[in-house]
A = this chain, B = another copy of it.
Amino acid sequence: MEERKEKIDLKSSIRDIPHFPKHGVIFKDITTLLNDNRCFRYAVSEMVEHFKDERIDKVVSAESRGFIFGSVIAHKLHAGFVPLRKPGKLPHETIREEYETEYSKDAFEIHRDAIKEGENVLIVDDLLATGGTMEAATKLVERLGGNIVGIAILIELGFLKGRDRLTKYEVFTLVNYEEEE
C-alpha cells in the first residue's frame, strides 16, 4: 500500500453542527474531513485495508455523499462503481426500494443491469444512522443477485442502533459515536 500508516484521529476532523437539519440534532459534518487531504486519504486507506483481501466486483453507494467514498474505494479496489439514486434520476431500467431515515421517507433506485448474478459487492456510505438507507441498499443488491461481501461506513451513530438491522453482514465503521452528545 502506498498510504502512510501514521494513525490519525478522524473524529477531531469531523465538525459538529448543532440543530441541523432540525432542532435537537447534532449533525456530523464530514466536509472538514474531506477538506484535509491527510484525513481523507487516511479514512480511504483504512476502509480499503479492511477489504483488500476480498475479491470485490462492484462497489455500491447511494447519492449524494455516499458517492464520495464509494467511488474512491471502487477505484482503489479495482471494482466497478454502481450508484444508487433517488427516483427518476437513473435513465435506464431500474428497480426500487423505499426506506425511512431519521427525518424522511424516500426511495432509492438501481439500474437492473448494474450487478450480475453472483458478483461480489461492497456497499460504502458515509453515515450509518437508523440503518434505513443501508437496509434498502442491501435489498437492492440482493434482488439483483449480488453477494454482499461487506459494508464500509465512515461514521456510525451507535446510539441509533442501525447495526441491528444489518446483522447478516460484516459492517466495518471507522468512527463510532456511542452516545448522543
Q: Could you list which residues of chain A lie within 8 angstroms of chain B, going by C-beta atoms?
A: 15, 17, 20-21, 27, 29, 31, 34-37, 40-41, 44, 58, 63-65, 67-69, 71-72, 74-75, 78-83, 85, 88-92, 111, 114
Secondary structure type dominating chain A contacts = mixed
Task: Tell me the bound Cα distance from A71 to B33 in angstroms.
Answer: 13
B79 touches A31 (CB 8 A): no
Contact of A85 among B36, B64, B75, B83 (CB under 8 A): B64
Task: Tell me the bound Cα distance from A166 to B116 in angstroms.
Answer: 41
Given A40-B80, A64-B64, A64-B67, 17 new contacts (CB under 8 A): A15-B91, A15-B92, A20-B91, A29-B91, A31-B82, A31-B90, A31-B114, A34-B83, A35-B114, A37-B80, A40-B75, A41-B78, A64-B83, A67-B67, A68-B83, A72-B75, A75-B75
Copies in the complex: 2
